[in-house]
Amino acid sequence: MTFVDRDTRCILAWKVGYRRSGYEFQEMLADSLQGHDYYSDDYQGYKTVLYSPAIHHPMKDKSQTYSVEGSNADLRHYLARLRRRSRCFSRKMEALRNAVKLFVHAYNQRQLYKHRFPSYNPPLISFATP
């Protein structure tokens, strides 16, 4: 699960887990920067979250959720363990969390760089090392 800033396309919050529930979303929301508008798909779990004082906009289509859909596609593209369960998968949840943590760090650094220098699109791997 991810929260993505629409302006910079940075991942603001993420969580790896077995369940997708309103409780999990509420924890992510409490740990992330507060926005004033939140857009999501029409999943029932989002409707139980308290966004106050922000406004939640559940969308039936992907017209306003393209940022998070794009970052999720990048996650699946760069992390083989999120592609197919039969070949590459994490046997330990902690290994998956560490892989996603490294990806989010490199991804956010690249997104901020692209935001500052839009004409240059560097490879993600150049931001993976500290």
Domain boundaries, the chain: 2-127
| Sign of the CA dihedral running 119, 36, 100, 46 | negative
**Tokens 């910079």 belong to which residue?**
8
Residue 90, pLDDT > 80, answer no
Radius of gyration of the chain (CA): 15
Residue 10, pLDDT > 70, answer yes
CA atoms within 13 A on the CB side of 30: 8
Cα dihedral 36, 42, 48, 51, rounded to 10, equals: 0
Q: How confident is the model at residue 104 (pLDDT cuts 50, 70, 90)?
A: very high
**pLDDT, position 102:** 93
Structure tokens, 13: 């919050």
Residue 101's Cα: distance from chain center in Å?
11
What three-state secondary structure class fits 4? Answer: strand
- pLDDT, tens digit (0-9, with 9 covering 90-100), for 18-74: 888 888 889 999 888 888 889 988 888 888 888 888 899 988 888 888 889 899 899
Percentage with pLDDT > 70 across the chain:
94
CA gap 56, 129 in Å, rounded: 36
**pLDDT, position 86:** 63
Determine if the pTM surpasses 0.85. Answer: no
